[in-house]
Amino acid sequence: MKILVTGFGPFDKFRSNPAEVLAEYLSGEFEEVEHAVLPVVYGDARDALLQELERRGPDTLVSFGLNGTIGHINLEEIALNIRSSEVPDNSGRKLDDSPVVTGGELALRSTLSLWDIRDRLRGEGIPARSSYSAGVYLCNEVFYTGAAWAQREGKKAGFIHIPMATEMIAGSPEMYRTPHMPIETIKKAGRIVIEEVLKSIR
């Protein structure tokens, strides 16, 4: 039984990424978890994920990404076969209505037990909600790639957005009104996610 957890490195205005910290942390907390950090570059993120899935052969994929506009955990329900953003990736590239997979289905759903995860998070004092749009940036590219893999292989995969860590903005008073969450709470949320995933696949 193996879970692959992915995160991203820094991008855009964010000099650190709690998704990277969380992925590395969870691989140290659970013997069933391995982690990978994906590049914030269109196409490269997809290719790197597919390589990791092939090399590691997990039963479940759990991907995390940063959403700098939320102060809660977003459990993403739907991945779209669309890549489009006014924000460039780390190579400076922008895409406008480009498919993740040419000829692929327009939308795919998460196969994680998201409602169980949501209820557990809320029950332990962590705000969480279902989300029906993961955007159309790199997070969605990874989400769609993982969902297509899960459908093809009969496995489970999903994507979860996390907020900025409080520690990320401590030195920037102008950002204090921006939503955020302490890194220890984000780590606790990650542990709960993995515990619920393990329950569902055992």
* pLDDT of the residue at 175: 84
Catalytic residue of the set 34, 72, 77, 161: 161
* Residue 161 falls in the annotated catalytic set: yes
Q: Global pTM? A: 0.96
Does the pLDDT of residue 202 top 80, yes or no?
A: no
The CATH homologous superfamily for domain 3-201 is Peptidase C15, pyroglutamyl peptidase I-like (3.40.630.20)
CB 120 within 8 A of CB 73: no
Domain definitions of the chain by residue range: 3-201
What share of the chain in percent tops pLDDT 90? Answer: 86
Catalytic residue among 32, 72, 77, 139: 139
Residue 72 is among the residues annotated as catalytic for this protein:
no
* Residues 74, 117 contacting (CB under 8 angstroms): no
**Residues contacting residue 141 through CB under 8 Å, at least 6 positions apart:** 42, 45, 46, 83, 100
Strand 60-66 relative to strand 3-8: parallel, antiparallel, unpaired?
Answer: parallel
Answer whether 150's CB lies under 8 Å from 63's CB.
no
32, 52, 76, 77: the catalytic one is 76
Helices (H), 83-129: 114-123
Which SS3 state, helix, strand or coil, does residue 71 take? coil
Active site residue 31: no
**What are the pLDDT digits (tens) for 29-72?**
999 999 999 999 999 999 999 999 999 999 999 999 999 899 99
